[in-house]
Structure 1
Amino acid sequence: MRKALIVDDHPFIRRIVRLVLEKANFQVAAETDNGATALDLARSHVPHLIVLDLSMPKLDGLEVLKRLHILGLPIKVLVLTSKGSAFFADRCIRAGAIGFIEKTEDVDALTHAIHRVMSGGIYLNDINANVATAGNDNQSDQQLIKTLSDRELRTLQYLVSGLSNKKISETMLLSEKTVSTYKTRVLNKLNIKSVVYLAEFAKRNNLVE
């Protein structure tokens, strides 16, 4: 029987995903609420599939994808997230995921996504239309966002959620000086003067939940 690993910090989501996977004839080998433990479980179980959230404690989904790629494990990864933008889908696919689906989709769509990636295909739900129909200002924003590294992007998300530099440093396992550097880079790259305007920018571009 094929094995799966569920990685999401919301117990309710994990329960739903478990039911969908078991109905699709998967054995759920393990589940966890954070990225650091996910890597340990991936190494020990080497599941056929990981259903992975993006926003999690310790290591976010993008960082998990990058580290899984370095480990070279033969694991397919389906990203299941509330961050439904073409920008995040692109980042995830480039980092090694072969599927990207929003949490707003129903269980039938999730089942289809699982079957699609396990059959060797790439699954993307219809998110690119959001960018294609956006105005010029939003398209300009997207170009600016693409200049951010994954860690700068994660710093942005923590900043606009109200976390202090100290708390961000503890969450990302970095020094406060490094977090301060990332903060400065984010503001400079996006040409934004304060965290207040940064929050508006993030909300406008669906960078936060």
Structure 2
Amino acid sequence: MKSALIVDDHPVVRAAVRIVLQTEGFKDIHEVSNGSEVVPLIREYKPQLVVLDLRLPTIEGLDVLARIKANDLDCRVLIFTSHEAMFYQERCIRAGAMAYVTKTNQLQQLHKAIQAVMSGYTYFTSLSDSANTLNTVQLTEKQMIDQLSDRELSIFRQLAQGKANKAIAEDMHLSHKTISTYKTRTMQKLGLSSVVHLRDFAKRNQLT
């Protein structure tokens, strides 16, 4: 019996993914809305497939991926997220994901990705065309973004969304001082001098 775990904090998205999985023959389907419960649930239910969002409360998807890999858990991970593939797909590939589908695509893409992964293949977005359309400034900025660690990128996005250091610290279960250090380091790496510039940088690169 094919089994799956859906990891997403939006009930409507989970319901849609469940329908797709059922159409693809999955009978044993479990759901969870935050990242901290994923590893224990994988151990408990042993799903063959994990459909994972990257934007999650408590622990973000990239951290979840790292924990799945570190614990050598036997499951196939399909990323289903609103995050731009240009900045996140390569990170997910390095972390062990077998597929990457953005939520802006038709659900047919999710069907195809599930079919590919369950057949032992990968399913990723071709980024060459997107990269070719970037101007020189954007290409340079993408290279700068690629140099950020997963945690730095996560904090960068949250700062760009207008979240305060204290709120980010609470969400990520880190100290205010740690977030402040990450903020300073990230802005230095990106050559930014203010939060206003940070937000402009994020908007320009579709990271808000």
| Range into which the TM-score falls when normalised by the shorter chain | over 0.9
**8 Å Cα contact 1:98/1:117 also seen in 2:** yes
CA distance in 1 between counterparts of 2:57 and 2:121 reads 30
Cα deviation, 1:51-88, whole Å, max 9, x if unaligned, reads: 00011100111000000001101110000011123221
Structure 1 residue aligned with 2:181: 181
Structure 2 residue aligned with 1:99: 99
Structure 2 residue aligned with 1:165: 165
Structure 2 residue aligned with 1:136: 136
SS of corresponding position for 1:83: coil
SS of corresponding position for 2:80: strand
CA distance in 1 between counterparts of 2:91 and 2:122 reads 14
Give the letter aligned to residue 129 of structure 1: D
**8 Å Cα contact 2:4/2:30 also seen in 1:** yes
**8 Å Cα contact 1:169/1:179 also seen in 2:** yes
Shift in Å, 1:127: 4.0
Give the letter aligned to residue 172 of structure 1: M
SS of corresponding position for 1:59: coil
CA distance in 2 between counterparts of 1:195 and 1:149 reads 19
Structure 1 residue aligned with 2:54: 54
SS of corresponding position for 1:51: strand
Structure 2 residue aligned with 1:190: 190
CA distance in 1 between counterparts of 2:206 and 2:93 reads 18
Structure 2 residue aligned with 1:148: 148
CA RMSD of aligned residues (A): 1.1
Structure 1 residue aligned with 2:42: 42
**8 Å Cα contact 1:6/1:28 also seen in 2:** no
CA distance in 2 between counterparts of 1:165 and 1:137 reads 28
Please, what TM-score do these two structures have when normalized by structure 1?
0.96
Show structure 2 runs of 5+ residues with no match.
Answer: none
SS of corresponding position for 1:39: helix
Give the letter aligned to residue 17 of structure 1: V
Structure 2 residue aligned with 1:22: 22
CA distance in 1 between counterparts of 2:51 and 2:164 reads 30
CA distance in 2 between counterparts of 1:89 and 1:11 reads 24
* Aligned residue pair count: 208
**8 Å Cα contact 2:85/2:100 also seen in 1:** no
CA distance in 2 between counterparts of 1:62 and 1:126 reads 20
